[in-house]
Amino acid sequence: MRTEVLVIGAGVSGLTCATRLAEAGVRTAVVEARSRVGGRIRTFRPTDGGPSLELGAQVVHGDLNPVHGIVDTETAPRPTAARVVSGRVGRPMGAPARTPQPPWALEARLNAEGAGIGESVNDWLVDRGGPYPVASEWFRQIWATDPERLSARGVAEAHRGDTAGRGEFVVSGGFDLLPRRLAAGLDVRTDCPVQVLGWSPGRVSAQTPAGVVEAERVVVTVPPSVVTHGTLTVKDLPEPKVEAARALAGGDGCCVVATLSVPAPETASVFDADGIGGFVSCREGRPEALIVARDAAAAHVRAATAGYGPATASSTGSDLATLLAVALPWAARAEVVDIEVADWGADPWSRGAFTAPTVGAEWAPVIWAEPVADTLFFAGEATVSGTRLPWVQGAIASGVIAADRLLEAMG
Ligand SMILES: Cc1cc2nc3c(=O)[nH]c(=O)nc-3n(C[C@H](O)[C@H](O)[C@H](O)COP(=O)(O)OP(=O)(O)OC[C@H]3O[C@@H](n4cnc5c(N)ncnc54)[C@H](O)[C@@H]3O)c2cc1C
């Protein structure tokens, strides 16, 4: 196959980039390793037609987020009972131990005040009377990174660089409608992983199991860790890029939809400040509980689900049941009958949740984003980490930036 521009990856950054190139009249093809588009957007739909749940990106951040213009959105429902688990005991969210302000108020303060180069979020908390374990775990879960490594300055700068506005929203009908809408009308080939990418100025050659794709230019949108792990080999990648990819390792993430034997008697959203379960939520009248766990909590959740299968003699899912019962006391009276796991940390096509700005790696996103010889271009949330939020709006922005750079190079 031969095309003008090859885009590797059909996540929102790749699809946005390809849309912009196609609109400019450039012959563009997108190749995607998975059998679906969307990358780290993955929607779970219960078989009985109940409301969908998100195993990847959860909410649309901001009333000015470009997502609103592409799919229908609605205000994110506010859970009627917000609790925090601390010392393996659930309490109302208003009473987390020894924190002067709720964690989100501390994050707003950090964004307003900014921070010095080299200062971690934990340093910043200590300077303000901390450490506050609940707030520290909150930052860990929001940013999928150890607050000892999370750059306070990077967090503040990313918020300042974000133009998505205020408020939180959900995509009516499921977040995966976004990539599906973006992909409509594009030349997208799924189940087509690029294994080796060779190039010389003005010419690229991508090896896939279905054959070689040739193009004049390429946009690489895969998470940098995919390159570091060698799942995608980019030949003759300049050494600074190799180092940048290493420095931009995505934080761990593991999400689970557990279907229980009884419906939830409440709508609840629970934050596990002990670092075991991340965020656990349920909706009144529905049998599903959703766990969204990052960094160390992701490892706990992964271990709790390991070997789990729907109720067999050797595997009862008891670790998972315990975890759920602490967060959602009603779950102690229920059995876990099924689980759906999205293990972003172990997934070969993501190798992590997303890329937080970390102390000492402030240089890396710019280097990773830099085109090579007007031939290799780069997009994806990691290319804007530290200057924008590494979430869906950041991925979309990165796709636009890469397309504009490429169009400029084409003259
Ligand atoms: C658990 C979790 C919760 C999140 N919550 C939110 C949230 O609430 N709000 C928000 O805005 N964002 C959230 N995010 C972040 C958001 O999902 C990402 O920032 C965004 O989806 C990244 O898009 P991308 O295009 O940069 O990367 P990806 O979506 O990862 O796209 C890259 C694509 O490249 C493909 N690929 C990889 N290797 C190859 C290869 N060798 N050949 C071909 N294709 C390849 C992948 O399969 C993938 O489809 C969350 C992410 C996770 C994991």
Regions of the chain where pLDDT drops below 70: 78-80, 94-100, 307-318
**How far, in Å, is the centroid of ligand 1 from the Cα of 41?**
6
Res 2: pLDDT: 84
In a domain, 203, yes or no: yes
Last residue of a domain, one of 130, 162, 194: 162
Helix (H, G, I), strand (E, B), or coil: what is residue 67?
helix
- Say yes or no: 85 and 157 in one domain: yes
**How far, in Å, is the centroid of ligand 1 from the Cα of 38?**
7
In a domain, 117, yes or no: yes
Q: Is the CB of 182 under 6 A from ligand 1?
A: no
SS3 content of the chain, % helix, strand, coil (to 5): 30, 25, 45
- Say yes or no: 144 and 194 in one domain: no
In angstroms, the Cα distances linking 322 to 170, 243, 315, 331 are: 29, 41, 14, 9
Task: Read off the tokens for 404.
Answer: 């504009």
In a domain, 356, yes or no: yes
- Say yes or no: 184 and 154 in one domain: no
In angstroms, the Cα distances linking 41 to 143, 192, 294, 310 are: 17, 18, 16, 25
**How far, in Å, is the centroid of ligand 1 from the Cα of 276?**
24
In a domain, 51, yes or no: no
- Say yes or no: 229 and 99 in one domain: no
Identify whether the C-beta of residue 145 lies closer than 8 Å to the C-beta of residue 46.
no
**CA-only gyration radius of the chain, Å:** 21
Res 92: pLDDT: 82
Instruction: Report the amino acid identity of residue 70.
Output: I
Q: Is the CB of 381 under 6 A from ligand 1?
A: yes
Handedness of CA 4, 26, 385, 66 (dihedral sign): negative
- Say yes or no: 182 and 142 in one domain: no
**pLDDT tens digit sequence for 35-55:** 999 999 999 999 999 999 999
Q: Is the CB of 151 under 6 A from ligand 1?
A: no
Res 313: pLDDT: 43
In a domain, 230, yes or no: yes
Identify whether the C-beta of residue 254 lies closer than 8 Å to the C-beta of residue 246.
no
- Say yes or no: 131 and 245 in one domain: no
Res 121: pLDDT: 97
Cα distance between residue 405 and residue 378, in whole Å: 10
- Say yes or no: 153 and 179 in one domain: no
Q: Is the CB of 103 under 6 A from ligand 1?
A: no
| Beta-bridge partners for 212 | 207
Nearest residue (by CA) to ligand 1, atom 51, is 57
In a domain, 378, yes or no: yes
Res 76: pLDDT: 85
Handedness of CA 163, 168, 171, 177 (dihedral sign): positive
Res 109: pLDDT: 93
- Say yes or no: 94 and 152 in one domain: yes
Q: What is the CATH number of the domain that holds 403?
A: 3.50.50.60
pLDDT, averaged across the chain: 93
Cα distance between residue 349 and residue 31, in whole Å: 13
Q: Is the CB of 365 under 6 A from ligand 1?
A: no
Last residue of a domain, one of 131, 162, 193: 162
Beta strands in 222-328 (DSSP E): 233-234, 253-260, 268-272, 279-282, 288-294
**pLDDT tens digit sequence for 208-222:** 999 999 999 999 999
Res 312: pLDDT: 46
Mutate to test the pocket of ligand 1, among 54, 168, 222 (most ligand atoms within 8 A of CB): 222
In a domain, 354, yes or no: yes
Q: What is the pTM of this model?
A: 0.96
Q: Which residues contact 44 (CB under 8 A, 6 or more apart)?
A: 52, 53, 54, 55, 257, 288, 340
- Say yes or no: 148 and 198 in one domain: no
Q: What is the extent of the structural domain holding 97? A: 81-162
- Say yes or no: 184 and 133 in one domain: no
- Say yes or no: 353 and 388 in one domain: yes
Last residue of a domain, one of 133, 162, 191: 162
- Say yes or no: 241 and 390 in one domain: yes
In a domain, 290, yes or no: no
Mutate to test the pocket of ligand 1, among 257, 383, 391, 400 (most ligand atoms within 8 A of CB): 391
Total domains, the chain: 2
Task: Read off the tokens for 318.
Answer: 């008891």
